[in-house]
Homo-oligomer: A and B are copies of this chain.
Amino acid sequence: MDSIKNRRTIRKYQQRDIPADVLDGLLEEAFRASTMGNMQLYSVVVTRDAEMKAKLAPAHFHQPMVTTAPVVLTFCADFNRFSKWCRLRQAEPGYDNPLSFLNAATDALLVTQNFCTLAEEAGLGICYLGTTIYNPDQIVDVLHLPELVMPVATITVGYPDECPQQPDRLPLRGLVHAETYHDYTAAMIDDIYAYKESLPENKEFVAVNHTATLAQIFTNIRYRKADNEAMSEVLKATLKRQGFRK
């Protein structure tokens, strides 16, 4: 499938709306993804309104795609709808726990990727925002998410107005294990990361940031231990607030 093989993240979009029937059609097909016990433990909030995009922007560290894309989609793990159905049918739901959150998050993420594939096949471009699980509390507030609903992924979507270079990927041998996991030796790590470290843009990145290695860009600048630990606390508190930690 060429759209998957040639995919790249699109951050610049044409000033052109996505028709409602096009978006609905893509979502409806995306919902064909595997789902636990056919429970469909997800909801999608569609943001088109400029004011709502502006309200979502801080949660995504003001990445410009949130306000410049015609559509922002927030995919949520959702045990609220199913639990309400249970209660209305003399059935007592028991889904206010971490396992159920991970079940629903899994359902939501499979649908998210399915949507991205379908959107790209239809000529749209997408950007996956990892920030959703960094500031879930803010997203809960802006989108009015009730108990047992937790945001897990945000996608900005639109007609592409750029065609950036495709990023590198690690070699297959570094990602796939036959029969059991074969832990990595130093020589294997050197081999797996050699190409990435050799790329001119990554060498430039190291030079500009005055770090000794490319790895230090990640640990000292982009994804720092102290930030991860602080955001883990927010994540845990939000899961509790949303009722998934009983």
* Chain A residues at the B interface, C-beta cutoff of 8 Å: 1, 4-5, 7, 9, 24, 27-34, 36-40, 42-49, 52, 76, 80-82, 84-86, 88-95, 97-100, 102-103, 105-106, 109-110, 112-114, 116-118, 121, 126, 128, 130, 133-134, 142-146, 149, 152-153, 167-170, 172, 174-181, 183-184, 186, 189-190, 192-193, 212-216, 218-220, 222-226, 228-229, 231-232, 235-236
Contacts and interface: CB of A to CB of B under 8 A. Distances in A.
A29 B9 contact: no
22 contacts: A1-B29, A1-B121, A27-B172, A31-B169, A33-B113, A39-B223, A43-B177, A45-B179, A46-B177, A52-B180, A76-B181, A81-B174, A82-B218, A86-B219, A88-B186, A89-B215, A92-B219, A97-B229, A99-B228, A109-B113, A144-B181, A146-B183
A65 B210 CA distance: 52
Nearest to A24: B172
Contacts of A145: 181
Nearest to A166: B32
Contacts of A167: 38
A50 to B, nearest CB: 11
A175 B43 contact: yes
A76 B183 CA distance: 13
Given A52-B179, A226-B94, A128 B235 contact: no
Given A1-B117, A52-B179, A225 B168 contact: no
Contact of A91 (B40, B130, B174, B219): B219
A214 B52 CA distance: 38
A29 B4 contact: yes
Contacts of A152: 106
Contact of A114 (B117, B143, B168): B117
A151 B180 CA distance: 12
Contacts of A113: 33, 109-110, 112-114, 117
A106 B81 contact: no
Contacts of A90: 212-213, 215-216
A73 B142 CA distance: 38
Contacts of A29: 1, 4-5
B24 A176 contact: yes
A29 B117 CA distance: 12
